[in-house]
Amino acid sequence: MSRLQVVSGKGGTGKTTVAAALALALATEGKRALLVEVEGRQGIAQLFETEALPYEERKIAVAPGGGEVYALAIDAELALLDYLQMFYKLGSAGRALKKLGAIDFATTIAPGVRDVLLTGKACEAVRRKDKRGRFVYDYVVMDAPPTGRITRFLNVNDEVAGLAKVGPIHNQAQAVMRVLKSRETAVHLVTLLEEMPVQETVDGIAELRTARLPVGRVVVNMVRPQVLDATDLERVRETPRTALARSLSGAGLGGARRGGHAERLVDPLLAQAGEYAERYTLEQEQRAVLGEVGLPTHELPLLAEGMDLAGLYELATELRKQGIA
Amino acid sequence: MSPEEPARHREGARRLAAAPVLDVDLLLEDPQTRIVVCCGSGGVGKTTTAAALGLRAAERGRKVVVLTIDPARRLAQSMGIDSLDNTPRRVKGVDDAAGGELHAMMLDMKRTFDEIVESHADRERAAAILGNPFYQSLSAGFAGTQEYMAMEKLGQLRAKDEWDLIVVDTPPSRSALDFLDAPKRLGSFLDGKLIRVLLAPAKVGGRAGMKFLNVGMSMMTGVLGKVLGGQFLKDVQTFVAAMDSMFGGFRTRADATYKLLQAPGTAFLVVAAPERDALREAAYFVQRLAAEDMPLAGLVLNRVHGSGADGLSAERALAAAENLEDPRIVDQDGGKAGVRTDPGNSPDTQGSSGTADSAPAEQAPDTSPEASAPKATERPAAETTADSTAAAGTAAPETTERSVDALTAGLLRLHAERMHLLAREQRTRDRFTARHPEVAVTEVAALPGDVHDLAGLRDIGERLATGRPELPGPGA
């Protein structure tokens, strides 16, 4: 099991949720996981129903069996100041740099530098050891940028190499790439069973593979329960409306004759079944497309009550059950 | 659209917070409306909404251009904008009876940036800039460039004055707010103090130039050089020197775009889906637009579910489904008891018995072993069908009813699921409306599939204008 688990996915697919559930799942049985956020959205804090996370590793959840989940919202500016402090003992000069806009420049404008700092911090957490020489975190889970940007984000070496050919940022990029391209890392992609997210996932996997970044698994999120299967749907089409009306009436839902309560339910129920059938077909098509990428695929259910902390634990259990953690 | 519209179809089912309904047609037909900006978080259907609005406005007589950022491939193909040439193309197949036109384009951010450079620098200098590695990274990949270029393109389209309505899609940002900030940020960076500092040594050159720099600044370039590497800094300096003539322009352009967004002819539409995260982002956006004095027209709530049978609650549907699935009840009552308790039913039951008789032949193969284990136990009535049909033809009407009952139970479970979804969406939506009761809302019913063509966009446009999810009703 790779120690750095990177979770990406198209916007709206729930990659933050999956990353958090994965961290919880990995932390079970006394392990310690660090959940890292790199986009400054405070999605983790919202998910765990806590106040905004500072730039500091802090315990946010206890997993079943005594494991712990820590969280860190990496801020590129503070990471750079940290970094300068560590290597150059800048002190107040750091603040002067900030005032001039140099930090903003280096982290926001200079392409790739921001990404090196963000991935660099995550890699540092992966490698960090305590005094007894044991890893501080068993796993680091990164809630990464979306699929469209993930390869560029992780492939910092290429980004930076053309710009900073020597110097600390260059060295940092090299060190980061050694971790990211090793077996220590796995990049997972979250998708929905819809055409655009699936297409983006397939494209993203191809890009990651071209860049020789280790692709892990595909997680299909928010899968709706299968209420009727293809056979049922076929039979729904063949069953006379009057028979359905009688059946509804038999279940205590009113009269089956024309205009009766049960009879009036038939059309809307059939319309809903029609929509379900159309979606079912589309979902099967998308499953087939995902099947072709040749990666282990997992499905997480759509939670009927919406996403909350309890739901997160439910998804974590599901991930463990499916052997992803 | 009548004022009593909002309370119409859901009364009784649940309380509806009274949000004003957004009149999309009024907005699109108003000649004063010159720019519509669709914004919102990723994955909520922004691009489709922008395209549907553009098509609807064009078919109602306006000359429209739609600027999309990252459309789905098939949608782009159907609009004829799948090739990136960074200029609007006329979309074919649009109904021009009302005298309107639809043009569309897909943003090529690198091309847009290159064009700015080419139009503002002489050929030699432009070549130097375009070949600079720093420029190449900045124009192709930097998070924020896309936002800036989208706004730049919007400014260009507006300046051309060839269209009377521009509909803009916004980039799939980390945060929906990015596109408001990026132009200012990039503008102030390119025109800022730091650039001046970086510029100074390259421009003046040598020691003479250094005199103008204070110690802090020279130290800073030193540190930047150390951190980023000397070559990097040199590239930046060359880039900055070459771009020098254009800097004032960037600030001015960023300011102009910002003012354009605040102008009376501009309308922002916040797009969201009835999900917690999307609506939270939408709420931030509403607040932010207000803070920036940007005119918000309303909220487009995509993918809202409805039901033609919303009088039947999830609980009753599930109870009825259990009733149908419980074999003991079916056996006891001979299957038809439920119907016969309602005396008014008998003619109906008799009338359809012929159909029931003909059914077993088709039904029997369906009770096959491929039905998954849990499902099989849920449908014991259906399991017995094959056996009993084979044993005695006389049992057929009853067993058919049992398998119909199993199907009906499935339909009821489907309905219960729909009602749960409806309730959840309504809760999420109410939370938004409670916080922002002033925001006009239009709801677009969820479609089972994706939109790939003009017919699909037209349908979405219709739904946008109707403002309420179209309910699957009788005859659907």
Determine whether B475 is exposed, middle or buried from the number of CB atoms within 10 Å of its CB (0-12, 13-18, 19+). exposed
The minimal CB distance from A162 to the residues B133, B339, B420 is found for: B133
- Please report the beta strands in B77-153, taking only residues with DSSP state E, as ranges in sequence order: 89-90, 101-106
User: Is the residue at B436 inside a domain?
Assistant: no
Please indicate, yes or no, whether residues B325 and B355 belong to a single structural domain of this protein: yes
Q: Does residue A220 share a domain with residue A106?
A: yes
The verdict on B299 and B318 lying in the same domain is no
Q: Counting Cβ atoms within 10 Å, is residue A174 exposed (0-12), middle (13-18) or buried (19+)?
A: middle
Chain A residue nearest residue B75, CA to CA? A196
Which among B355, B410, B415 has CB closest to A232? B410
Q: Which two tokens stand for residue B3?
A: 């004022």
Distance (Å, whole) CA A309 – CA A304:
13
Q: pLDDT band at B391, cuts 50/70/90? A: very low
Residues B284 and B338 in one domain: no
Give the residue, A75 or B90, on which the prediction is more confident. Answer: B90
Tell me, yes or no, whether A238 and A312 share the same domain: no
| Contact (CB<8Å) A244/B408 | yes
What whole-number percentage of chain B has pLDDT above 70?
61
Chain B segment 246-265 residues within 8 A of A by beta carbon are none
Which helix (H) or strand (E) is B17 found in, with range?
none
Closest CA to B9 of B465, B464, B445: B445
- Amino acid B367: pLDDT: 40
The predicted structure's pLDDT at residue B382: 39
The ipTM assigned to this model is 0.84
Residue A88 has pLDDT above 80, yes or no: no
In a domain, B231, yes or no: no
* pLDDT, mean over chain A: 88
- Cβ contact B227–A169 (<8 Å): yes
Residue-range definition of the domain harbouring residue B382: 314-417
Same domain? A235 vs A182:
no
Residue A172, pLDDT above cutoff 80: no
The answer to whether position A288 is within a domain reads no
Residue A71, domain member (yes or no): yes
Q: How many domains, in total, are found in chain A?
A: 2
A306 CB near a chain B CB, below 8 Å? Answer: yes
Same domain, A258 and A193: no
Based on the domain organization, do A140 and A217 belong to the same domain? yes
Neighbours of B31 (CB within 10 A): 10
Q: How many angstroms separate the CA of residue A182 from the nearest CA in chain B? A: 25
- Comparing alpha-carbon positions, the chain B residue that sits nearest to A247 is B405
d(CA B250, CA A321): 55
Q: In this structure, is residue A283 part of a structural domain? A: no
- B450 interfaces chain A, CB cutoff of 8 Å: yes
Q: Average pLDDT for residues A90-107, to the nearest whole number?
A: 64
* pLDDT computed for residue A80 by the predictor: 76
Buried b (16+ CB within 10 A) or exposed e, B198-224: bbbbbeeeeeeeeeebeeebeebbebb
Query: Could you tell me which residues are beta bridge partners of residue A218?
Result: A189, A297
* A237 & A314 share domain: no
A232/B413 Cβ within 8 A: no
Closest CA to B261 of B34, B23, B25, B31: B34
Do B124 and B147 fall within a single domain? yes
Task: Among A109, A166, A267, select the one facing B476 at the smallest CB separation.
Answer: A267
Poorest-pLDDT segment among A41-55, A76-90, B292-306, B407-421: A76-90
Q: Taking 90 as the threshold, does the pLDDT of residue A34 lie above it? A: yes
Question: Residue A293 domain-assigned?
Answer: no
Q: Do A113 and B308 touch (CB under 8 A)?
A: no
Q: Using CB atoms and an 8 Å cut-off, which of residues 138-177 of chain B contact chain A?
A: 138, 141-144, 172, 174-175
Q: Which residue of B has its CA nearest to A37?
A: B174
Check whether residue A188 and residue A243 sit in a common domain: no
Top-confidence range, A29-43, A107-121, B319-333, B347-361: A29-43
In a domain, A294, yes or no: no
- Distance from C-alpha of B341 to C-alpha of A252, rounded to nearest angstrom: 9
Do residues B12 and B39 share a domain?
A: yes
Type of residue at B152: E
Q: State how many domains chain B has.
A: 2
Range of the structural domain that residue A77 is part of: 4-224+302-321
B439 in any annotated domain: no
Residue A282 falls inside a structural domain: no
Nearest CA in chain A to B405: A247
Is some CB atom of chain B closer than 8 A to the CB atom of A296? no
pTM over 0.90: no
User: Tell me, what's the pLDDT at A39?
Assistant: 81
Query: Is residue A236 located within the same domain as residue A313?
Result: no
pLDDT for A174 equals 84
Does residue B268 sit in the same domain as residue B408? no
pLDDT tier at B281 (50, 70, 90 boundaries)? confident
* A48 and A197 fall within a common domain: yes
Q: Is residue A235 part of a domain?
A: yes
A45 near B CB under 8 A? no
pLDDT above 90: residue B43: no
- Do A213 and A239 share a domain, yes or no? no
| pLDDT: which is higher, A237 or A117 | A237
Is the model more confident about A189 or about B230? A189
Task: Identify from A8, A17, A114, A247 which residue to disrupt to test chain B contact, counting B C-beta atoms within 10 A and taking the largest count.
Answer: A247
* CA B468-B469-B472 angle, 5° bins: 135
Mean pLDDT within B228-243: 69
Indicate yes or no: CB of A249 within 8 angstroms of CB of B345: yes
Residues B291 and B402 in one domain: no
pLDDT at B30: 96
Tell whether B226 is covered by a domain: no
Extended strands (E) in B73-223: 89-90, 101-106, 165-169
Domain shared by B270 and B409, yes or no? no
Same domain membership, residue A143 and residue A94: yes
Whether residues B175 and B294 share a domain: the answer is yes
Q: How far, in Å, CA of A59 to CA of A49, rounded?
A: 13
Q: If you measure CA to CA, which chain A residue comes closest to B340?
A: A250
A285 falls within a domain: no
| Segment B46-62 mean pLDDT | 95
Measured between alpha carbons, how far is B249 from B191 in angstroms, rounded to an integer?
Answer: 9
Q: Is B262 inside any structural domain?
A: yes
Q: Is residue B218 part of a domain?
A: no
Q: Does residue B214 form part of some domain?
A: no
The pLDDT confidence band at residue B270, using thresholds 50, 70 and 90, is very high
- Check residue B243 and give its pLDDT: 66
Q: Look at residue B260 and tell me if it is in a domain.
A: yes
Q: Which residue has the higher pLDDT, A93 or B268?
A: B268
Q: Check whether residue A140 and residue A65 sit in a common domain.
A: yes
Same-domain pairing of B273 and B412: no
Q: Which pLDDT belongs to residue A152?
A: 84
**Better-predicted residue by pLDDT, A109 or A37:** A37
CATH number, domain containing residue B456: 3.40.50.300
Enclosing H/E stretch for B383:
helix B380-391
Closest CB from B70, B189, B232 relative to A109: B189
Tell me the CATH number at A79. Answer: 3.40.50.300
Max intra-chain CA distance, chain B: 109
Same domain, residue pair B301 and B325: no
Query: Burial code of A211-232, b = ≥16 C-beta within 10 A, e = fewer?
Result: bebbbbbbbbbbeeeebbeeeb
pLDDT, tens digit, 9 for 90 and up, residues A129-170? 999 999 999 999 999 998 888 998 898 766 666 666 667 777
State the pLDDT confidence band at B188, using cuts at 50, 70 and 90.
low
Mean local confidence (pLDDT), B81-99? 86
Top-confidence residue, B398 or A92: A92
| B358 lies in the same domain as B454 | no
Distance from CA of A65 to the nearest CA of B (A): 30
pLDDT of B142 over the 60 cut? no
pLDDT of residue B33: 96
Structure confidence at residue B213 (pLDDT): 44
